[in-house]
Amino acid sequence: MYIDRGYWEDLKKKFYERMMRDRYIGYLDPGIEEVLIKIFRLKDAFPTSSCSGRIYAVDSDYPWARKGSYIVFKKHDVITL
Protein backbone atom coordinates (compact mmCIF):
# COMPACT_ATOMS: atom_id res chain seq x y z
CA MET A 1 0.00 0.00 0.00
CA TYR A 2 1.36 3.42 -0.99
CA ILE A 3 1.08 6.24 1.51
CA ASP A 4 1.73 9.82 0.44
CA ARG A 5 4.22 10.86 3.13
CA GLY A 6 3.62 14.56 2.53
CA TYR A 7 -0.12 14.13 3.03
CA TRP A 8 0.54 12.05 6.15
CA GLU A 9 2.82 14.69 7.66
CA ASP A 10 0.35 17.49 6.83
CA LEU A 11 -2.47 15.58 8.50
CA LYS A 12 -0.33 14.81 11.54
CA LYS A 13 0.60 18.49 11.84
CA LYS A 14 -3.07 19.48 11.56
CA PHE A 15 -4.07 17.15 14.42
CA TYR A 16 -1.13 18.33 16.54
CA GLU A 17 -2.11 21.97 16.03
CA ARG A 18 -5.70 21.13 16.95
CA MET A 19 -4.52 19.45 20.14
CA MET A 20 -2.45 22.51 21.06
CA ARG A 21 -5.42 24.78 20.37
CA ASP A 22 -7.62 22.55 22.54
CA ARG A 23 -4.99 22.80 25.27
CA TYR A 24 -4.88 26.59 25.00
CA ILE A 25 -8.66 27.01 25.32
CA GLY A 26 -8.90 24.44 28.11
CA TYR A 27 -10.67 21.76 26.09
CA LEU A 28 -7.91 19.15 26.33
CA ASP A 29 -8.93 16.44 28.76
CA PRO A 30 -6.94 16.53 32.02
CA GLY A 31 -4.21 13.92 32.34
CA ILE A 32 -4.07 12.97 28.66
CA GLU A 33 -1.54 15.47 27.27
CA GLU A 34 1.57 13.46 28.19
CA VAL A 35 0.22 10.34 26.48
CA LEU A 36 -0.77 12.29 23.36
CA ILE A 37 2.68 13.89 23.09
CA LYS A 38 4.31 10.44 23.25
CA ILE A 39 2.04 9.19 20.47
CA PHE A 40 2.79 12.27 18.34
CA ARG A 41 6.52 11.53 18.71
CA LEU A 42 6.08 8.15 17.02
CA LYS A 43 7.11 8.18 13.37
CA ASP A 44 4.14 6.31 11.95
CA ALA A 45 1.27 7.21 14.27
CA PHE A 46 -0.71 10.11 15.63
CA PRO A 47 -3.88 10.48 17.69
CA THR A 48 -6.99 11.94 16.07
CA SER A 49 -8.78 12.80 19.30
CA SER A 50 -7.86 14.19 22.69
CA CYS A 51 -10.88 12.75 24.46
CA SER A 52 -9.99 10.44 27.32
CA GLY A 53 -13.65 9.81 28.07
CA ARG A 54 -16.43 12.07 29.17
CA ILE A 55 -19.69 11.69 30.98
CA TYR A 56 -22.51 14.01 29.93
CA ALA A 57 -26.03 14.60 31.16
CA VAL A 58 -28.06 16.53 28.60
CA ASP A 59 -31.50 18.09 28.99
CA SER A 60 -33.40 17.52 25.73
CA ASP A 61 -36.64 16.12 24.38
CA TYR A 62 -34.80 13.25 22.65
CA PRO A 63 -31.30 11.80 23.13
CA TRP A 64 -30.27 12.85 19.62
CA ALA A 65 -31.73 16.38 19.79
CA ARG A 66 -29.20 19.21 19.50
CA LYS A 67 -31.40 22.27 19.12
CA GLY A 68 -32.95 23.43 22.34
CA SER A 69 -30.86 21.05 24.44
CA TYR A 70 -28.15 21.92 26.90
CA ILE A 71 -25.55 20.14 28.99
CA VAL A 72 -26.50 20.01 32.67
CA PHE A 73 -23.47 17.98 33.76
CA LYS A 74 -20.08 17.19 32.24
CA LYS A 75 -17.15 15.50 33.89
CA HIS A 76 -13.81 14.11 32.70
CA ASP A 77 -13.09 12.07 35.80
CA VAL A 78 -14.46 9.19 37.83
CA ILE A 79 -17.93 9.66 39.25
CA THR A 80 -19.71 7.80 42.01
CA LEU A 81 -23.43 7.28 42.29
- Nearest by Cα to 19 from 3, 4, 34: 34
Residue 81 lies in a domain: no
Q: Which domain holds residue 30?
A: 5-75
Residue 80 lies in a domain: no
Average pLDDT value for the chain:
84
Secondary structure (3-state) at 37: helix
Q: What local confidence, expressed as pLDDT, does residue 59 receive? A: 84
- Nearest by Cα to 17 from 48, 59, 42: 48
CATH number at residue 45: 3.30.1960.10
Q: What local confidence, expressed as pLDDT, does residue 63 receive? A: 64
Cβ neighbours for 20, distance < 8 A, ≥ 6 positions apart: none
Q: What DSSP state is assigned to residue 72? A: E
Domain count, the chain: 1
Better-predicted residue by pLDDT, 80 or 22: 22
Gap between the Cα atoms of 3 and 8, Å rounded = 7
